[in-house]
Amino acid sequence: MDVGSLRVGGYMIVDGEPCHIVDITKSKPGKHGSAKARIVAIGVFDGVKRSIVKPVDLNAEVPIIDKRMGQIFAVNPMGVLIMDLETYEYLDAPFPEDVELKAKLTPGAEIEYWKILGKMKIMRTK
């Protein structure tokens, strides 16, 4: 995807980490250069704020986000065991960093989780 077609609220890969785009500012092309875009993004898994500057006509990597529904099967000290509601396979997921969301994780609760670049994150409960 072109850097110029990225929008606030979208996702892109910065330094090998999927990030949520928070701010984009574009500069006009100069006499000898092309237009540039300054992108500020926050990591989905680590929460680190990243900033990059790229020409608008270059390509940017955009992650494929697989949003799925699951049911909590068991809560372990190391994480959560989830059963996918479409494929009925069992998956291990780490605890979310949000304290309120972590308190809602009980066996039998339905959740939405995202799979991005082989990693999993619990996003919300139903």
Statement to judge: residues 48 and 10 lie in one domain: yes
Instruction: Tell me the per-residue pLDDT of 1-60, one tens digit each, with 9 for 90 and over.
Output: 899 899 999 999 999 999 999 999 999 888 888 899 999 999 999 999 999 999 999 999
In a domain, 10, yes or no: yes
In a domain, 60, yes or no: no
In a domain, 61, yes or no: no
Statement to judge: residues 46 and 73 lie in one domain: no
Please state, rounded to an integer, the average pLDDT across all residues of the chain.
92
Q: What is the model's pTM?
A: 0.84
List Cβ neighbours of 32 (8 Å cut-off, separation of 6 or more).
none
The domain of 71 spans 66-125
How many domains is the chain built from?
Answer: 2
In a domain, 113, yes or no: yes
CB-neighbour burial class of residue 115 (10 A; exposed 0-12, middle 13-18, buried 19+): middle
Statement to judge: residues 82 and 47 lie in one domain: no
